[in-house]
Amino acid sequence: MSSGSRSRLRRAAPYGGVLLLGLIAFLLPQVSPTSFVLSLATTALIYAIAAAGLGFLWGQSGQLSLAHAAVFGIGAYTAAVCAKQLGLSFAASLPISAGVGLVAGALVALPSLRTSGHYFVILTFAVSEVISVVEMRWESLTGGVNGVTTLPGAQTLFGLRLAGRADYYSIVVIFAVVVFLVLCLLMRSRWGILLRSMRENPDLSTSLGINVPINRVIVFALSGAIAALAGQLYLYHVKSIAPEAFMSNLSIVFLLVVLLGGKSYLLGPAAGAIIYVFLPEYIGLSPVRSQIAFGVILVVMILTAPDGVLSLIGRLRERLRGPRTEAGA
Amino acid sequence: MGEDLTLFLQYAFNGIAMGAVYAMIAAGITLVYGLSRIIHFAVGELVMFGAFVALMVWEGTGSFSLAIATAIPVLAFIGLITERVVFRFTLREPLTGFIVSLGLILVFQGTAVEIWTANPKYSQPPLQGAWELFDITVRKQSVLNLAIAAVVLAVCYYVLRKTTAGKSVRAVSDDPEASALMGIPVKKVIMATFIVGSALAGIAGCIIMTIGFITPYIGAVYLLRGFAVALIGGLGNIQGAALAGIGLGIAESLAAGYVGPGWTDAYVFGTAVLILLWRPTGLAGGAEGARI
Amino acid sequence: MNPLLRTQMLTKHFAGIRAVGPVDFTATSGEIVGIIGPNGCGKTTFFNVVSGFMKPTAGQVFWEGQDIVGVPAHRRARLGMVRTFQERMVFPGTPVRENLQTALIQYGASDIGDEAVTAALDYVGLPHQVIDQMAGHLSWGECRLLGMALGLVLKPKILLLDEPFAGLNRVGAERVTSTLRRLRGDGIGAVIVEHEMDLLLPLCDRVVVLANGEVLAEGTSQEILQREDVRTVYFGGDPVARDQ
């Protein structure tokens, strides 16, 4: 009996953890109401959502995409077109941008039906460059290099004002919690088990009857939908977007965010996003210098702690608890 | 001669001149990949660095030869440092090496902005003037660029095919373990390819400096073209890279000329993606098992 | 009676060089067929073509009388033809539990809890305590058994085993043997590609000898052992045969 309830508790723990962290994040405006901090926190959460999509893709199915930022951009542009040209509300355009992201994600994955490994990663990069060109040149839709501006006006969602700094932050918190709960559910589902098997040994998965290519396309589509959702949240946060915001550098940043936190941890992307957004502000680094610093951090992390900072906490705890068998560190 | 034909030949010539540069970048990519299995994505930034170094020396001294003579050792040195400090630790995990190169993109780009600012820079081409050949404008600088690229590629080919050093490189590319048993210093050979690959990107940068504006952000453009050429030519295949480079250059120039410059990239990369979907190991019959 | 699995003139070329074939081969459930031959004779390539991991250059593969050359590998597994691998036998980065859960899900099991997982461990004789270990941390022999368990969970009609004794010591080999002996009773057929004749022959109902991609001999274990040409291929100083 007691072991059964303990295992049930252990199974529920991650969901409880996400909800608890969500609640803490939700209370932030009460504690630190400066709009600067709230704006940074909103950005961090949006990055966390986008990176969570990539983290699921990479950590669970073992696929790497350099087109993630491009799909994020597609979500933002779709939301902008919905608002400006179709006059749709935030809520009405959400399923559209997520749907477009879903399709875009699946399209990015299509080459994986023919190629894999190195070739495939390079192809995702090529696809992302094609998307940037389209964003830059399809001026009637995207405003070209000048980009587009969308103002939310007096819209509300969940009774919160989209135009209000603290209110919008709270909306983003709600989306983040939902996304992380869904991903947690998927990671622990039967499908999650199949995805990890494909990551570890796709040939063996195939020999057990798993349709590896189709599942790859599906997981890409899912990560695309999440990226596009984050893209729409980003548009309503920064109000105006231009193509250079979604260049391949941002894909590297998402990858860094995933890697920083730890790609096999559900909350890795959240931890990575918080570090990525807040750290430069608090040490007062210029954007260019922080780019250099994060480049160095990316290199050092992948070489020394490829499982991210969350794994370092685990390692530290082991060292503190474990018997001191090593003679000096 | 008909006006249409003249125009076509003009575009084709411009394309060949540009394609030779892509072939050089691709040769570096292919060399590094062939031996280390690392997809070195920071190669575009190496090109950018080469272009800035060459620009500085050219504007400072007025000597283009000196500019090239400076860019080559500077970039070779960067290649050496990156291999010694990071890439050599990633030889067992090529994916790690790839991610390292992504980090280097951020570092190189940021460093370039710190040194040269983000403003576009332009310099007069070292060789002014042009010849008129059958109504085609042949800029002297283009001819010089083409000659530099041709000489560099020919030297690469000769070294790889005819010299003992080149034979070691090919041996390591075919079978690193057997090469080690035969007494070839595998690690030194791999280090050398990083040096040579970076130097090739540097020479490409010198040429690019003479063609148009440069900024710290031009890397991605040349990265993608370099890889498109390397992949279509077949990773690990230098002759394939040379042919595919010229092919891409001409295709791009024709697309820019007839369709309009704005959509060139989408058109060219779209085609590259389709070609790779059709023939994943490239047109020239390269293979995952690299052949240099 | 129609054999379950049949190949007809099955041939595979690599860059114009013949690796396998033409091979006519049959196997059916409840029967253990061995395929032996020196290294480089095309055994694994034959497996790859039969299981759908490679397309044949020519010839057909029939399953229950149907030509399945166009059927993708994962669908062949669902038909009841499951293969194992010689080198990468398991999912190394996940725990043994999850390895077996993958197979249980694919079998369509409604329960993928620890009881189902330990039942699969029992079948191949792996101890229960490995359940939480990373599969990549198991010993080579344990990996081999886990790899077989993964295939067996699917209750295949025919299991294709790629060198199940490679790299095993005597204890490991005995454990594999005792698992294989259970198959016939459970109505599972097996096709075993193997280099180790001594271990394989006592297990088999029928043996096929491949040399240079072609069938050199076929018959019961005794018949094969008496064939002079088989001995020449195996012990006659063919340099390829001494590899590994």
pTM as predicted = 0.88
User: Cβ B106–A255 below 8 Å, yes or no?
Assistant: no
Cβ–Cβ pairs < 8 A, chains A and B: 111
C51, closest residue in chain A (CA to CA): A207
Distance of alpha carbon C191 from alpha carbon C27, whole angstroms:
7
User: Cβ B99–A297 below 8 Å, yes or no?
Assistant: no
User: Cβ B280–A247 below 8 Å, yes or no?
Assistant: no
Task: Give the C-alpha distances (Å, rounded to integers) separating B118 from A69, A253, A285, B216, B221.
Answer: 22, 19, 17, 6, 16
Q: Of A86-100, B136-150, C87-101, C107-121, where does mean pLDDT reach its minimum?
A: B136-150
> Which residue in B110, B276, B277 is closest to A289 by CB distance?
B110
User: Cβ B277–A111 below 8 Å, yes or no?
Assistant: yes
Q: What is the average pLDDT value for chain C, to the nearest integer? A: 85
User: Cβ A201–C94 below 8 Å, yes or no?
Assistant: no
Candidates B239, B198, B230; CA nearest to B47 is: B198
Whether the CB of A256 is below 8 Å from some CB of chain B: the reply is yes
C134, closest residue in chain A (CA to CA): A200
* B126 min Cα distance to partner chain A (Å): 31
Chains that touch C (3 or more CB pairs under 8 A): A
Q: Judge whether residue B160 has pLDDT over 80.
A: yes
User: What structural domains does chain A harbor?
Assistant: 3-328 (1.10.3470)
Per-residue pLDDT of chain A (329 residues; tens, 9 = 90+): 455 667 777 778 888 888 888 888 888 888 877 888 889 999 999 999 999 999 999 999 988 899 999 999 999 999 999 988 888 888 999 999 999 999 999 998 887 777 777 778 888 888 888 888 888 778 777 777 777 877 777 787 887 888 888 888 999 999 999 999 999 999 999 999 999 999 999 999 999 999 999 999 999 999 999 999 999 999 999 888 887 777 778 999 999 999 998 888 888 899 999 999 999 888 888 888 999 999 999 999 888 888 888 888 878 877 777 554 433 33
Under 8 Å CB-to-CB from B88, ≥6 apart: which residues? B187, B190, B191
In chain B, helix, strand, coil percent, each to 5? 75, 5, 20
* A306 min Cα distance to partner chain C (Å): 14
B50 belongs to a structural domain = yes
Distance of alpha carbon A76 from alpha carbon A62, whole angstroms:
26
* B98 min Cα distance to partner chain A (Å): 9
- State pLDDT tens for residues C217-237: 888 888 887 877 777 776 654
Find chain A residues with C-beta within 8 A of B48's C-beta.
Answer: none
User: Cβ C101–A204 below 8 Å, yes or no?
Assistant: no
B130 belongs to a structural domain = yes
B113 belongs to a structural domain = yes
Which 112-141 residues of chain C touch chain A by CB within 8 A?
Answer: 112
B223 belongs to a structural domain = no
Whether the CB of A104 is below 8 Å from some CB of chain B: the reply is no
Please name the residue that has the structure tokens 């906490």: A313
- Rounded to 10 degrees, the C-alpha dihedral A280/A286/A292/A298 comes to 20
Q: Judge whether residue B155 has pLDDT over 60.
A: yes
Task: Give the C-alpha distances (Å, rounded to integers) separating C49 from A93, B43, C32, C45, C61.
Answer: 49, 40, 19, 6, 9
Find chain A residues with C-beta within 8 A of B266's C-beta.
Answer: 130, 133-134, 137
- Structure token pair of residue B254: 């024709």
* Greatest pairwise CA separation for chain C in angstroms: 54
B24 belongs to a structural domain = yes
Whether the CB of A248 is below 8 Å from some CB of chain B: the reply is yes
Question: B32: domain range?
Answer: 3-118+126-217
- State pLDDT tens for residues A36-72: 888 999 999 999 999 999 999 999 998 889 999 999 9
Whether the CB of C240 is below 8 Å from some CB of chain A: the reply is no
Find chain B residues with C-beta within 8 A of A296's C-beta.
Answer: 103, 107
Chains that touch B (3 or more CB pairs under 8 A): A
User: Cβ B266–A133 below 8 Å, yes or no?
Assistant: yes
Q: Which amino acid is at A304?
A: T
* Helix segments in chain C, DSSP class H: 43-50, 73-79, 96-107, 114-124, 140-153, 170-185, 197-200, 221-226, 228-235
Into how many domains does chain B fold? 1
Predicted pLDDT at A326? 39
- State pLDDT tens for residues C7-48: 888 888 887 788 887 888 888 888 899 998 877 778 888 889
- State pLDDT tens for residues C169-205: 888 888 888 888 888 888 888 999 988 788 888 888 8
ipTM of this model?
0.89
> Which residue in A196, A203, A208 is closest to C103 by CB distance?
A208
User: Cβ A206–C82 below 8 Å, yes or no?
Assistant: no
* C97 min Cα distance to partner chain A (Å): 10
Q: Which amino acid is at C142?
A: E
Find chain A residues with C-beta within 8 A of B227's C-beta.
Answer: 122, 125-126
User: Are the beta carbons of A218 and A95 closer than 8 angstroms?
Assistant: no
B273 belongs to a structural domain = no
User: Cβ A207–C82 below 8 Å, yes or no?
Assistant: yes
User: Cβ A211–C74 below 8 Å, yes or no?
Assistant: yes
> Which residue in B106, B227, B276 is closest to A298 by CB distance?
B106
Distance of alpha carbon C54 from alpha carbon C46, whole angstroms:
9
Give the pLDDT band (50/70/90) at residue C153: very high
Chains that touch A (3 or more CB pairs under 8 A): B, C
B136 belongs to a structural domain = yes
B254 belongs to a structural domain = no
User: Cβ B107–A256 below 8 Å, yes or no?
Assistant: no
| Greater model confidence, B79 or B291 | B79
